[in-house]
Amino acid sequence: MESLELSDIQGYIIRGYKYMQYSRYALLRVVDPVAAKKFLRDNVGDVTNVTHHAKTNCLNIAFTCSGLGALGLKNSNLAYFTREFREGITSEHRGRLLGDVGSSAPESWRWGGPGNEQVHLILMVFGKDKQTALSYYARLQQQFAPGLAEVLQLDGQTLPMNKEHFGFRDGISQPIIRGSGRKGPENDFINAGEFLMGYKNEYDVYPDTPILGEEQGDTFLLPFDAAGTGKKDLGRNGSYMVMRQLEQDVKGYWEFMNEKTKNADGSVNAEESVKLASKMMGRWPSGAPVVKFPDKDPGGQSNDDYFTYTDLDKEGLKCPFGSHLRRTNPRDNFEDNGPKESLRLTRRHRIMRRARLYGDPAVGSPLNYTPEGEVGLIFTCFNTDISRQYEFIQYTWANYPKFKELYNDPDPVCGVKQDPGEGVEQNFTIQAEPVNKYITGLKRFVTVRGGAYFFFPSVTAINYLSTL
Amino acid sequence: MTQQHPLTLVTPVKSGEHDNLNALLMQIRADVQAGIHQSFESLGTIHYARWILLEPKDADGNIESDVGVRLVFSSNYDGEEDAHLSGLATLCAPFIDKLYGYCVDYPGVGDRTTERRKEYLSRWRVKEDAFFVGAPGRTLPQIRQENELRNYVWNLLCSGNWGGKSALDIHRALKEDVLGKQGFQWARASIKIPGIRWLGMVLLGVILLVLLPVIIIWILLIHFLFERTDEPLGLTPSQVSGAHVKELEQYEDLANQNQFTQVLIMKPGKMRLITLKALMLFAKALISFLFVNGKLMGIPTIHFARWVMIDDQKRMLFFSNFDGSWQQYLGDFIDKSGWGLTGIWSNTMKFPRTRFLFTGGAYDEEHFLAWSRYFQVPTAVWYCAYPHLSIKNIINNSYIRNELFRDLNEREARQFLQRF
């Protein structure tokens, strides 16, 4: 097993900063490249790496493609970054794949879209509470001028029990990077190259990495690439970060569940409503997996990730095939493959998820679902091959309605289209005996408000970028 | 049972007409996308059709001057070739006239009779080397009818109150309902769904066993004579021309199905050609004995695929129609059948380095994906008769049709209901 250079890897990819309750993501634009590079140089020492167990604050940095260009990285070198990153999340084809159409189309985004001010880099500031985070941010902010200008601030937080706004405990199942020293279920251990460049991936090859085609800056700082081309490697210990701001329609969500499960007299049947929402999610609000508790939420707070589907529920009778959990990580029951083969294949489509919530810190339920103002989730994930990992999961597993043997079933949580086109049904099938139950007329409860693909460099690479 | 067949036409374009023809193809593309495809529909037998403009490039992307641009047509249709050509020459005549008017030797305006058109088209016909059908024997009308049946029964299941009934009772009730419907009388005749032909497989096994010593020596020769010195493309996905991939992506993921067209250039020498031809024979045998139920080498998303050698065996065309995205499709290729695809495609130029014909190659994921895009060419026009159906749906629908009218036991009735 390869050992990871932990002190060179920015912390957020391996550690979730669970105790950092408040975060501010500052989307920045490079105004003066020389001064911006000075900012990087002055602050690179404060960037949180994996070995740095910060108690009060964390700081991580990531760059868009135009940001790297604005700092002075030559086009000939930018060309070695993956096409997905270079094109960005807003290309027309990508919009079709990701489902960013209609009210989720990049044209109506608040940031990252073609009509928005360009984002060059993102400063991710975390604090153990709001005040700590914001006072740390204020110190950094004083150094922005004249190099950097704020485009937008995105404040986020974690809620008690780590719930998201619809009311479900989130972020339970995560891949574990081999060599990172973290513990968990054996099936979750994934080769480092799926998340970090410079290491072998699940195909046992080195992921595409941005090498330096043309010498510039202090190349002495950079290592040679692992694949052995003899070129300097800007990517080693770095990753690609996908960020999407997703507004959640909590009211619409619970009204839909209530409507589909109402009593004969029209009143809300809260128990059935939660059950339907949980069947769609694949976990109960407590986080307990539906495949282990098919009928009722055991309550409390669950971190249970020790389960597979083939042994517990090959027919989908407990946890429906179309549920968000089972689609976006089919574990050992992928298509009609055997358990071992399934695990081998699904390991090639994992992402490291990081979510922060924004807006009123309210958690929805069948009888209480009206948060104040806009609420949502800042979805973030890390991967080295955006096409094979994040985009594959979003399209092939979530949006694509033909998943498994299904006909018209998108992921009920994150794959439903607002306007599926004339005559196109969108359903959720609950496998049951003798007859399945069908929830028809699914609606979209998530609207994309912004997003970008970032390069999440190693500490070394941040340092290098400051020498351009 | 009516079989599905491929038609491939490779027709030289008049010099100087390339741009005009391309403009017309783009117009047809826009029309098809906007739902204007009566010409294809009117035959009632075309599952898929496409046109590409084949530019005579070598493996480095340089234009070879001695061959001009050619218009390549590919269709997957029901029934006999003669009827298919007649259909194209009559029902699609205005269409064909416009397109092939840009091609060499197309009959002049006054001479365009059905016979002349047909004769013209068949002149450019090229025989395929191997052909795969995801749902053998399923005609276009049948695919559509069976889907209507499935939707009808699904609606019954969706709206009915089935509480307390056994699977057998429900099956019976569904059957009676459908029997009473005039529009579904066709469904009473069950169809034969092809199964694996074990005798053929055994025979194939015996032949391979007998040939094993020759095969081993052959593979060793390939390895020591060629594999170690063959030049791979050597690019990673980020290094493939962005403009090229963008052009391909423009015509991808418009529906839940996609097309894939590759133009490959054979490696020089008889040994590579013989290897490829032998593997094509092997693939053909497996396709008719084993891959008869929706999976090509384990890949469960392919409706039709074909390999066609042209230009005196110097180039190979590969066409497929599949469910889902390009990334999923190519990933499946590596995950499910990396060895088979390596064996076949490694006889073409710049394939990622292989070892002993079947290893390396496609398993070198990054380089293989880059190579795949590099040799993929844009499809100019693509028509699909059922973009909303996956190959799994089509096969499942056939089982629904057969099982609905069969006498089932309780366990079978349960399985039947799980098909919805």
DSSP character string of B356-398: TTTEEGGGSHHHHHHHHHHTB---SEEEES-TT--HHHHHHHH
* In contact, A380 and A398? CB cutoff 8 Å: no
What pLDDT, in 10s, does the model give residues A104-135?
999 999 999 999 999 999 999 999 999 999 99
Contact B239 A336 (CB under 8 A): no
CA distance A165 to A163: 7
The C-alpha R_g of chain B, in whole angstroms, comes to: 23
What pLDDT, in 10s, does the model give residues B321-359?
999 999 999 999 898 888 888 999 999 999 999 999 898
Confidence (pLDDT) at A422: 86
Residue A2 has pLDDT above 70, yes or no: yes
CB of A432 less than 8 A from some CB of B: no
Higher pLDDT, A181 or A277: A277
CA distance A159 to A153: 19
Q: Which of B150, B155, B157, B158 to mutate to test the interface with A (most CBs of A within 10 A)?
A: B158
Residue A94 has pLDDT above 90, yes or no: yes
DSSP state of B37: -
Calculate mean pLDDT across residues A435-450. Answer: 96
Contact B418 A431 (CB under 8 A): yes
Residue B65 has pLDDT above 90, yes or no: no
> What is the set of domains in chain B, with CATH numbers?
4-126 (3.30.70), 143-193+390-417 (no CATH), 198-379 (3.30.70.100)
**In 3-state terms, what secondary structure has residue A20?**
coil
What pLDDT, in 10s, does the model give residues A213-265?
999 999 999 999 998 999 999 999 999 999 999 999 999 999 999 999 999 99
Calculate mean pLDDT across residues A414-422. Answer: 92
* In contact, A86 and A63? CB cutoff 8 Å: no
| CA nearest to A78 within chain B | B238
DSSP character string of A377-423: EEEEEEES-TIIIIIHIIIIIII-TTSTT-SS---TTTT--SS--TT
State yes or no: cis peptide before A289, omega within 30 of 0. Answer: no
Contact B392 A402 (CB under 8 A): yes
| CA nearest to A433 within chain B | B414
Q: How many CB atoms lie within 10 A of CB A376?
A: 23
Confidence (pLDDT) at B163: 85
**In the block, residue with structure tokens 């209530």:** A258
Residue B225 has pLDDT above 80, yes or no: yes
* In contact, B350 and B233? CB cutoff 8 Å: yes
Q: CA B356 from chain center: how many Å? A: 28
H or E element, residue B411: helix B410-417
Confidence (pLDDT) at A1: 57
CA distance B314 to A70: 47
- Which conformational region is residue B205 in: left (phi greater than 0), alpha (psi within -120 to 50 degrees), or beta? alpha
The pTM (predicted TM-score) of the whole model is 0.94
Q: How many CB atoms lie within 10 A of CB B43?
A: 22
Confidence (pLDDT) at A371: 95
* In contact, B81 and B9? CB cutoff 8 Å: no
Contact B242 A83 (CB under 8 A): yes
Residue A221, CA distances (Å) to A416, A458, B47 in order: 47, 12, 58
Strands in A36-117 per DSSP E: 57-63
CA distance A24 to A136: 10
Distance from CA of B308 to the nearest CA of A (A): 30
Partner residue facing B158 (CB), from A205, A207, A440: A440
Closest CA to B350 of B331, B367, B329: B367
Report the complex ipTM. 0.92
**Residue B206 φ/ψ, nearest 5 degrees:** -65, -45
DSSP character string of B133-179: ESSTT--HHHHHHHHHHHHHHHHHHHHS--TT--HHHHHHHHHHHHH
* In contact, A59 and A48? CB cutoff 8 Å: yes
Q: Number of CB pairs < 8 Å for A and B?
A: 108
Closest CA to A389 of A453, A340, A337: A453
Closest CA to A438 of A425, A448, A422, A451: A425
Q: Hey, where are the domains in chain A?
A: 6-244+451-465, 250-349+395-444
**Angle in degrees, CA A321, A322, A326, rounded to 5:** 65
